[in-house]
Amino acid sequence: MPEKKKGEWHIEVAAAQTIGSRARQEDNEGSVVGKVDGRPAQLVALADGMGGMKNGDLFSKTAVEAVIHEFVSRTYQNVPPWMILAQLTLIANREAAALQQEKEKGGTTLILALIVSNHLYFASAGDSRIDLWRQGTLLQLNRRHVLGDLLDERACLGVIDEEIARNSLCRNAISSSIGEERLKSIDLNDRAIHLMRDDYVVLMSDGVFGTLDDGEICGLIDPGESVKQTAEKIIRQVESKRKEKQDNATVAICRWMKV
């Protein structure tokens, strides 16, 4: 990579994970630099294999590898970044769905972040999260695809009773995921989020935000540290909780900064 010059803007990326108390690691993550309209573009992917199904690790690995391979092997000219992410998500779903013919049923969540200059775009399927940390405040960007959100929408429309929606035992069931014959939903932004100096883009599997609350995660981010230190600190904090049934936990962080 070319040496960074003083005063230049660049993206710092790092990730960390723990297996938790599970028998195997079913989370996967990856990042790569490609080009969009001739400009360097950072792609970050995080996938959480669905633990209730077999081969979750294979499905998450397949999804991440598919999007990274496709992104670096193509030249994108005059294609809106949100459309690139939609295409990558569909390709990941196609590759994962093909596994259904060979393996027992499985699936995975998928979160993608694409940063072109200081413009952030994201796409997601499933219940993993992408957040923006800015000046001490953590904001969730995507809508998680879980049954609880659908029930709440129906309750607001008067289709079902609010109490039924609130007390459903299936609120955390995933309503859209990678590996389905037909992907039900993709959450994405078609208008860029403009990143500012020392903004952090945080991708997380539910093993992180299901263990740490937003205040804890927010308090662990320190612009005085590298993103590698921050990612590792978040995972250490997850492990320190010593939950009896700790899920796999993975965090991938991007920081927009000046050298």
Region 126-134: mean pLDDT is 95
Give φ, ψ of 39 to 5 degrees: -105, 145
For residues 217-243, average pLDDT = 96
In this model, does residue 177 exceed pLDDT 60?
yes
Angle at 179 between CA 29 and CA 50, to 5 degrees: 60
Cα(200)–Cα(257) distance, rounded to whole angstroms? 9
For residue range 87-100, list pLDDT tens digits in order: 999 999 999 988 87
Q: Which residues pair with 123 in a beta bridge?
A: 112, 188
Amino acid sitting at position 30: G
Residue-wise over 86-119: b if at least 16 C-beta within 10 A, else e?
bbbbebbbebbbebbeeeeebbbbbbbbbbbbeb
Mean predicted confidence (pLDDT) in 122-138: 95
More confident residue, 174 or 195: 195
Mean model confidence pLDDT for the chain: 88
| DSSP annotation string for 125-180 | ESS-EEEEEETTEEEE-SPP-BHHHHHHHHHHTTSS-HHHHHH-TTTTSBSS-BT-
Residue 136: burial class (beta carbons within 10 Å; 0-12, 13-18, 19+):
exposed
- Lowest-confidence pick of 110-119, 130-139, 183-192, 212-221: 183-192
Residues 41 and 121 sit within 8 Å (Cβ to Cβ): no
pLDDT at 218: 95
Q: Catalogue the E-assigned strands of the chain.
A: 9-18, 27-36, 39-48, 110-116, 119-125, 129-134, 137-140, 187-188, 193-194, 199-204, 249-258
Q: Is the pTM of this model over 0.75?
A: yes
3-state secondary structure of 229: helix
pLDDT average, residue stretch 54-81: 94
Choose among 233, 258, 256, 4: nearest CA to 133: 256
Phi and psi torsions of 46, nearest 5°: -140, 130
State the pLDDT at residue 182.
82
- What type of residue is 36? V
